[in-house]
Amino acid sequence: MYIVDRDVKNGGVDIGTDDSKTQDLWEIGYVHRVKDHMGAIAIVAAVLLWAAPALGFVSVHEGGNWPADWPLELEPYRDRARTVEIGTTVRESVYEIPFETTEDFERIWPILLQLRSQGAPLRIGNVETPDERRASVFSNDAPVVRIYTPVYGSSAQKPGGRALSVGPPWPSSVSLPDGSLPEYVVISQDGSQWIPAVGNVTGGFRHRARVEMELIGDGRILDFNRILVPAEIAIVDNRATLEEGMGSDWYVSPQGDPRNPGTAATPWDLASALEGRQSIQPGDTLYLLEGTYRRRPNELFDVRLQGDEETPIVIRPAAGHRVAIDGGLAVLSPSSHVWIRDLEIFVSEPLPSKPVSAGSNPADLKRPHGGLHLRGGSNCKYINLVIRNCNQGISCWKGEMNPEIYGCILYGNGWLGVDRGHGHCVYTQNDLGVKTISNCIMTCPYDGCYTMHAYGSEQASVNNYLLTENICYRKGPFLVGGASPSQGIRIHRNVLYGIDMQIGYTAAYNEDCEILDNLVVNGKLETVRYRKVVWEGNVVLPSGDTSRPSKSKFILLQNRYDRNRAHLAVFSWDNASVVEVEPGRCMDEGDTAELFDPEDLSGNPVAKLVCRKGRIHVPTCDEFAVFVVRIVRR
């Protein structure tokens, strides 16, 4: 999800108060440091119930009592929902829908978005540990969606005035200058009409006018990294209230010094920060300032940092800065809950001009190894990295527990020996925990190199992998298997062009695997000696002579950690010069897709395409093309 960290009180509308007594109660609500008034309403409502019941009420009903003309897709959610009617200083209804699975939420999310009023922001917050000392109608102890609406079907009037129906539809008298609805409306002084609740409004209830939505996420069922939100919707991020004071920003630069205080003006060096010799705590962010970070003869920067599940340590470039590491990173124990993202890793020393000696460690390959070495981290994420021109891209070994390698671009890694190519995009082994490798684009320069080399001898394990939505092309087989039996292998929705996929190797038997919805073109897909295989939805076109589908195909994979990025694979089966792509929720009308060659992300885009009528038209010159898409919002 695209998050704008904003401190917005009352949605930009200055809501008046009825009297000094009520004002005091609002101030009581702010004792809890609620950043946005929507959370404050819940707290104040509870305070009113206990401290001044004559001022108003809060009524809670099991079931969602929303209007019958809301979308039919919401009907299955009525019984699980609850309705909260608020009649304190404001009048509004709140429909709260809990969710127990990601699939359940993502299925209904586009429908929920249709309910929101134009111009209304989306409010987000985190699940919190219940606190009995904190008075609140809304506990935020589980992932939920709350829909804040007018009190449909009701009316209001001032003494001597006329009865006014609570909308929608609302009369034109309530509209703001831009045509949108205010958050609240009040009855005019003469009692004749509704007017926006703007400025120092006194007397009577403030009635909710627009429909707003609030998401309470837990990072799993409601994961803000997965939720797609149209660009025009402002996001009010109330998560900062929970994390305020917990995370600091630190800075390093190629010219930094470990004796500096770690500010942007006086940054640290990279080595001391990553090794844990500075005061980096859970929830902190380490920003790398512009430049190339290099050291020799030990080209690997060691990482020994410890975050936690709720407050990981994030390592990333400063905004607008291009950062590269000439060498590599080694993630070592006791590293945990560290997110490394958006960096480029490469080795600047050139490869030998001719093939070197045979084997995996030739003495005449006189250049640094480079790459990303994952040896002892726990629950770490490696996001949107570019790893190129190293002897091996990613080495992810048994000691690295539960990593997620996501959105990485790997190309040009390996070297040429007199026997064959050596070095791989990803070389990995695993036993306990699950290694997840997802949404990566991989290609190899030489025969003998592998895009995916999950392999081990009889003494090594190749167990418990989730490999999903990767795009591999040109050279480099996709192998998962070794000499000892494998189990817990899940291979889902990968796209391979000109590359074989083999699940299983020389082991006498393997236990279980799931091979689901993979597309392999000009290559083979096979499993080897598995006792239990789930095989569904796979499409294999083994050679150029195989009959092709009649219509062109595209696979567009939205990035979970960057809503303005996607990976696109295009198949022009009929050799058409243009393939029509429907970006769906990735893009809105008028957005521009900049298409980049994955092997030249710092260059100019291959094409700039504006989304018109829900489509972009991608130029092609071959049967297959792959792009990194950067979305420029209108």
Predicted confidence band at 213 (pLDDT cuts at 50, 70, 90)?
very high
Predicted confidence band at 174 (pLDDT cuts at 50, 70, 90)?
confident
Predicted confidence band at 31 (pLDDT cuts at 50, 70, 90)?
very low
Three-class SS of residue 324?
A: strand
Task: Give dist(CA 328, CA 308) in Å, integer.
Answer: 24
Q: Is 483 exposed, middle or buried (0-12, 13-18, 19+ CB in 10 A)?
A: middle
Any idea where the domains of the chain sit in the sequence? Answer: 10-241, 246-391, 553-632
What pLDDT is attached to residue 199? 59
Does 397 have pLDDT greater than 70? yes
Does 2 have pLDDT greater than 50? no
Question: What does the pLDDT look like over 64-77, one tens digit per residue?
Answer: 999 999 999 999 99
Task: Give dist(CA 512, CA 489) in Å, integer.
Answer: 7
Residues comprising the chain, all counted: 634
Question: What does the pLDDT look like over 588-608, one tens digit per residue?
Answer: 899 999 999 999 999 999 999
Judge contact between 128 and 140, C-beta under 8 A: yes
| Average pLDDT, integer, range 41-54 | 34
Q: Which residue has the higher pLDDT, 163 or 318?
A: 318
CA neighbor of 477 nearest in space, from 455, 448, 513? 448
Task: Give dist(CA 198, CA 212) in Å, integer.
Answer: 18
What pLDDT is attached to residue 168? 84
Mean pLDDT of the chain: 87
List the strands of the sheet with 435-438, edge to edge.
Answer: 249-252, 285-288, 313-317, 338-341, 381-383, 404-406, 435-438, 465-468, 489-492, 510-516, 530-536
Judge contact between 287 and 318, C-beta under 8 A: yes
Predicted confidence band at 231 (pLDDT cuts at 50, 70, 90)?
low
Beta strands in 332-384 (DSSP E): 338-341, 344-346, 371-374, 381-383
Model confidence, pTM: 0.68
Q: Which CATH class is domain 553-632?
A: mainly beta
Question: What does the pLDDT look like over 491-510, one tens digit per residue?
Answer: 999 999 999 999 999 999 99
Q: Which residue has the higher pLDDT, 396 or 6?
A: 396
Does 47 have pLDDT greater than 50? no
Task: Give dist(CA 267, CA 217) in Å, integer.
Answer: 34
Amino acid in the structure at residue 324:
A
% of residues, the chain, pLDDT over 70: 87
Question: What does the pLDDT look like over 451-500, one tens digit per residue?
Answer: 999 999 999 999 999 999 999 999 999 999 999 999 999 999 999 999 99
- The token pair at 302 is 């060691």
Q: Helix, strand, coil % (nearest 5) of the chain?
A: 10, 35, 55
**Range scoring the smallest mean pLDDT among 223-232, 326-335, 533-542:** 223-232
Residue with tokens 């939720």: 227
Q: Which residue has the higher pLDDT, 158 or 601?
A: 601
Please name the residues in contact with 250: beta carbons below 8 A apart, sequence gap of 6 or more: 262, 263, 268, 273, 278, 280, 284, 285, 286, 287
Task: Give dist(CA 327, CA 312) in Å, integer.
Answer: 25
What pLDDT is attached to residue 201? 58
Kind plus residue range of the DSSP H or E element containing 22: helix 20-30
